[in-house]
Amino acid sequence: MAAKKSNYDTLKLMCHIPAPSGNEIAMKQFLLFYISENSKKWKVKPKIFSGPEFQDNIILVFGKPRTAIFAHMDSIGFTVRYGKQLVKIGGPVLKDGFKLIGSDSKGVLEAELKLNANKKTGAVSLEYKAKRDFETGTELTFKPNWREDKDHIQCCYMDNRLGVYNALKVAETLKDGAIVFSTWEEHGGGSVQYLQRFLHKKFKIKQALISDISWISDGVHYAKGPVISLRDSLIPRRSYINKIIEIAKKNKCAYQLEVEGSGGSDAGALQMSENPWDWCFVGAAEEFVHTPDEKVHKKDVEGMIKIYQVLMKEL
């Protein structure tokens, strides 16, 4: 009997594609293939901007764009230093026994994360346990374990494969707008600085939505809709946020308001750029952030897609 098809098969596949910060090429290649195969069925076929001048980033431009969606392709992970030593990529949660996977010239190999505490200093060093040593410089990522039931989907790298998935779903009906698949977000950023310059200069775009994943907290709950973030470590312009909230209310979109004092996204590069950008983080919230077990409610995924469709039409 054939396996039952899920509405989230594309998301599941993307969660299995390794793309740690600095080595996003596999996600770039998948997205270019996906866009080539599926854009024929979209309402508007976009112009695709990629190539050496964009490094491993992709920009899609539909019609006459007014607003850009930014969705980062990269993930957290680890870099093999020497022998069994590891160095973090971004901010993964560290737990002894987490399953890892990596690929070098000798092939694909599974491993386990090992935390070694110095008894004198208390300092913790990161290592891996595997049948052999990886080559120096190999990236290790969490081993995917997809779980899906009636209400939830769970796997590593919902942050930010879900943000990318959301952008692809919005692309199906988008008439006017831009979609940016960016790199390096989890480890300090760097690509959005020149991508925003290109969009601002060529298309006069100056407002953005950040298609990324937030977290469940004491004020953010499952199945209540995606969050509209009022602030994280940065504070967006309130008049732009108010406009987004008004549009969401008018169109009866489910949403939650979020206030945090930490965290960040591709928005940081927009706010610090030489060009005037308005931005707002809008995304579903998850549990078990930056672990192999990131968990999202399906209602929040569907709500995220709906609110983006509305905002890209009305902003």
Looking at residue 86, which CATH number applies to its domain?
2.40.30.40
Q: Given this model, what pLDDT does residue 117 score?
A: 84
Residues 25 and 127 in one domain: no
Total domain count for the chain?
Answer: 2
Which tokens hold the place of 101?
A: 């996977």
Per-residue pLDDT of the chain (315 residues; tens, 9 = 90+): 445 567 899 999 999 999 999 999 999 999 999 999 999 999 999 999 999 999 999 999 999 999 999 999 999 999 999 999 999 999 999 999 999 999 999 999 999 999 998 877 878 899 999 999 999 999 999 999 999 999 999 999 999 999 999 999 999 999 999 999 999 999 999 999 999 999 999 999 999 999 999 999 999 999 999 999 999 899 999 999 999 999 999 999 999 999 998 888 999 999 999 999 999 999 999 999 999 999 999 999 999 999 999 999 999
Q: What's the chain's Rg over C-alpha atoms?
A: 20
164 sits in which H/E element = helix 158-171
CA distance 153 to 24: 23
Residues 199 and 91 in one domain: no
Same domain, 125 and 250: no
Judge whether 2 lies within some domain. no
Do 54 and 81 share a structural domain? no
In contact, 23 and 139? CB cutoff 8 Å: yes
Structure tokens at 185: 């977000």
Q: What is the pLDDT of residue 119?
A: 77
CA dist., res. 268 & res. 289, Å (int): 20
User: Which range of residues forms the domain containing residue 131?
Assistant: 77-142
How many other β-carbons are positioned within 10 Å of the β-carbon of residue 120?
6
Structure tokens at 117: 């505490």
Q: Which two tokens stand for residue 178?
A: 């831009």
- CA-CA distance, 140 to 79, in Å (whole number)? 6
Q: Within this chain, do residues 185 and 267 fall inside the same structural domain, yes or no?
A: yes
Which of 142, 157, 183 is where one domain is finished?
A: 142
CATH code assigned at 253: 3.40.630.10
Q: Are residues 96 and 245 in the same domain?
A: no
Of the candidates 107, 108, 272, 253, which has an alpha carbon nearest to the alpha carbon of residue 188? 272
**Does 304 fall in a domain?**
yes
Residue 275 lies in a domain: yes
Final residue belonging to a domain, choices 86, 113, 142: 142
State the DSSP string of 14-53: HHTS--BTT--HHHHHHHHHHHHHHGGGSSSPPEEE-SGG
Confirm whether 271 is domain-assigned. Answer: yes
Looking at the chain, the number of H-run helices and the number of E-run strands are 7, 19
pLDDT score recorded for residue 120: 78
Is the preceding omega at residue 160 within 30 degrees of 0, hence cis?
yes
Report the C-alpha gap between 44 and 170 in whole angstroms.
11
Give the end-to-end CA distance of the chain in Å, rounded to a whole number.
46
Query: Is 113 found in the same domain as 28?
Result: no
Same-domain status, 223 and 261? yes
* 111/249 same-domain check: no
The verdict on 259 and 129 lying in the same domain is no
Q: Is 120 helix (H, G, I), strand (E, B) or coil?
A: coil
CA atoms within 13 A on the CB side of 121: 5
Does a structural domain hold residue 43? yes
pLDDT score, position 131: 97
Verify that 137 and 249 share a domain, yes or no.
no
Q: Are 209 and 280 in contact (CB under 8 A)?
A: yes
- The full length of the chain comes to 315
Domain membership of residue 222 (yes or no) is yes
Judge whether 4 lies within some domain.
no
Reduced to 3 states (helix: H, G, I; strand: E, B; else coil), residue 207 is strand
* Predicted local distance difference test score (pLDDT) of residue 4: 55
187 and 307 co-located in one domain: yes
Residue 1 lies in a domain: no
Indicate the residue among 142, 174, 197 that finishes a domain. 142
